C-alpha cells in the first residue's frame, strides 16, 4: 500500500541510487535529478485528494461487509433552509443518518442541532470554520479548530464528537498529526453524490444508484435543495432493493462520541 512514509522512502532510495551511479559509474544529466521527484510529487497530490487512499492517515470509507447495509451522511449543516426538511424526510421514513456539522453554523441554530441529536442521528465533526485555507493550517491550528467544534457540539448536546470528516475531503501530514493528537476517527465515503454541483434530481439519483453496494457510505450535503428533493426517492429505492440504512457508527462498528 502506497503511503506517505513509503513514498518518502522510495524517493530517498531513488535519489541515493542516482547519486551513486552518478559518482561511481556514469555521469547523469542534471535534468534527470529534476525529474526524479516528479512521481513523488504526483503521489503527494494524489494522496491529498483521494481520501480513500489512506496515504497520509487511514480513513474509514466503507464497511467490509456483503450484507445489504448502507449509511447516509450529510455535510456542511446545520442550516435553516434544508436541514429541517431533510430531518422531516428521515423521520417519516424512520431512517437515521450522520450529520458532519460545521461549528460556526451552530450558533443561533442550537435547537436544530438538538433536534438532530434527539431524533437519533449522529453528529460528526467537519471542522469549526471549514475555512478555504484549512489545508494550509499547521497541525496545532487544525487541532484547535476540531476541538472548538467539539466544544460547540458538547455545549448543546452534552456529547463530544469522535468522528471527523476533513473539509473538502483533503488530507495532508499536518491533518494526520491533528487527527492522531485529538484521537479522532477520520471518516470518508465511497459514494460521492456531487449533489453540490448536480443540475437536477434525476441526474443526482442516477449517479448515486451507480455507486450503491453493500457497506457503502454515501456523502451528501444538507445545504442543497436538490438533496432534499432526491432523498425520499433514494430511501424508497434502497428499501425496495433490500438495503438497510444504518447509522454510520453502527455500520462501521465504531463509537460516535468520545
Interacting residues of 176 by C-beta distance below 8 A, sequence separation 6+: 4, 56, 57
Residue 38 above 70 pLDDT?
yes
Q: Grade residue 18 by pLDDT with cuts at 50, 70 and 90.
A: low
pLDDT tens-place string over residues 171-197: 999 999 999 999 999 999 999 999 999
Q: Grade residue 21 by pLDDT with cuts at 50, 70 and 90.
A: confident
Taking domain 69-252, whether its CATH number is 2.40.50.100 is answered by: no
Reported pTM: 0.90
| pLDDT, position 30 | 65
Of the candidates 47, 56, 62, the residue with the CA atom closest to the CA atom of residue 190: 62
What is the distance between the alpha carbons of residues 54 and 35, in angstroms, rounded to a whole number?
26
| pLDDT, position 47 | 85
Of the candidates 115, 121, 2, the residue with the CA atom closest to the CA atom of residue 55: 2
Of the candidates 75, 94, 95, the residue with the CA atom closest to the CA atom of residue 83: 75
What is the distance between the alpha carbons of residues 187 and 184, in angstroms, rounded to a whole number?
9
The catalytic site residues sit at: 75, 221
pLDDT tens-place string over residues 100-144: 999 999 999 999 999 999 999 999 999 999 999 999 999 999 999
Of the candidates 168, 74, 172, the residue with the CA atom closest to the CA atom of residue 124: 74
Interacting residues of 18 by C-beta distance below 8 A, sequence separation 6+: 28, 32, 33, 36
H or E segment to which residue 216 belongs: strand 216-221
CA count, 13 A, side-chain hemisphere, 191: 26
Q: Which residue has the cell 449543516?
A: 77
| pLDDT, position 63 | 98
| pLDDT (average), residues 244-248 | 98
Residue 13 above 80 pLDDT?
no
Which DSSP string do the residues of 37-81 spell out, in sequence order? THHHHHHHHHHHH-GGG-SSS--B-S----SSEEEEEEES---TT
pLDDT tens-place string over residues 198-231: 989 999 999 999 999 999 999 999 999 999 999 9
Ranges of each domain in the chain? 4-49, 69-252
Amino acid at each position: 500500500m502506497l503511503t506517505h512514509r513509503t513514498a518518502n522512502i522510495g524517493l530517498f532510495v531513488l535519489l541515493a541510487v542516482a547519486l551513486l551511479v552518478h559518482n561511481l559509474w556514469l555521469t547523469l544529466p542534471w535534468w534527470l535529478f529534476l525529474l526524479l521527484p516528479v512521481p513523488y510529487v504526483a503521489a503527494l497530490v494524489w494522496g491529498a485528494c483521494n481520501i480513500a487512499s489512506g496515504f497520509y492517515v487511514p480513513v474509514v470509507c466503507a464497511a467490509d461487509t456483503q450484507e445489504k447495509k448502507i449509511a447516509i451522511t450529510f455535510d456542511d449543516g446545520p442550516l435553516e433552509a434544508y436541514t429541517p426538511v431533510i430531518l422531516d424526510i428521515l423521520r417519516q421514513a424512520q431512517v437515521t443518518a450522520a450529520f458532519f456539522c460545521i461549528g460556526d453554523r451552530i450558533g443561533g441554530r442550537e435547537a436544530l442541532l438538538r433536534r438532530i441529536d434527539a431524533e437519533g442521528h449522529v453528529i460528526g465533526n467537519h471542522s469549526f470554520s471549514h475555512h478555504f485555507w484549512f489545508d494550509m493550517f499547521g497541525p496545532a491550528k487544525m487541532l484547535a479548530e476540531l476541538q472548538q467544534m467539539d466544544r460547540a457540539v458538547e455545549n448543546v448536546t452534552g456529547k463530544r464528537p469522535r468522528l471527523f470528516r476533513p473539509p473538502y475531503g483533503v488530507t495532508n501530514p499536518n491533518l494526520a498529526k491533528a487527527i492522531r493528537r485529538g484521537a479522532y476517527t477520520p471518516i470518508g465515503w465511497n459514494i460521492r453524490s456531487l449533489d453540490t454541483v448536480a443540475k437536477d434530481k434525476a441526474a443526482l439519483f442516477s449517479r448515486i444508484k451507480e455507486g450503491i453496494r453493500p457497506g457503502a457510505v454515501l456523502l451528501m450535503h444538507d445545504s442543497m435543495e436538490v438533496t432534499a428533493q432526491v432523498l425520499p426517492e433514494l430511501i424508497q429505492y434502497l428499501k425496495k432493493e433490500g438495503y438497510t440504512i444504518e447509522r454510520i457508527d453502527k455500520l462501521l462498528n465504531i463509537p460516535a462520541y468520545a
